Amino acid sequence: MTTPDVPTTTVADIPAELPEGTALLDVRERDEWDAGHAPGAAHIPMSELAGRLGDLTDTTYLVICRSGGRSARVTTYLNANGWEAANVDGGMQVWEAQGRPVVSDTDPTPRVI
């Protein structure tokens, strides 16, 4: 779901180990995160972002949601407010489809919902 004028990256372009100062930011809601997420990702639901900007300690963010819509909006917001961010095209659906690991702290069968 590429959005015009929003910096975008693909799952295939994300290295297994992110460079220093770069974080994968998952902006899905708690139930989606609990079901399954990328290992090492930070979690701030889009609905909580404005109140949790102090939690953003990295300088660059790869922003991911289920399919790319919410993360595109968050990417635009972050870029407009001093961070460097790129939307992960296709989101966690593509992440999972490409065989990238999905983990859960609460569900024995991690999955993307």
User: Which CA distances in Å does 32 have to 18, 20, 44, 80, 82?
Assistant: 23, 27, 12, 26, 28
Closest CA to 38 of 106, 95, 87, 86: 95
Q: Is 3 a catalytic residue?
A: no
Q: What whole-number distance in Å separates Cα of residue 87 and Cα of residue 70?
A: 9
Catalytic option among 11, 65, 94, 112: 65
- Return the active site residues: 65
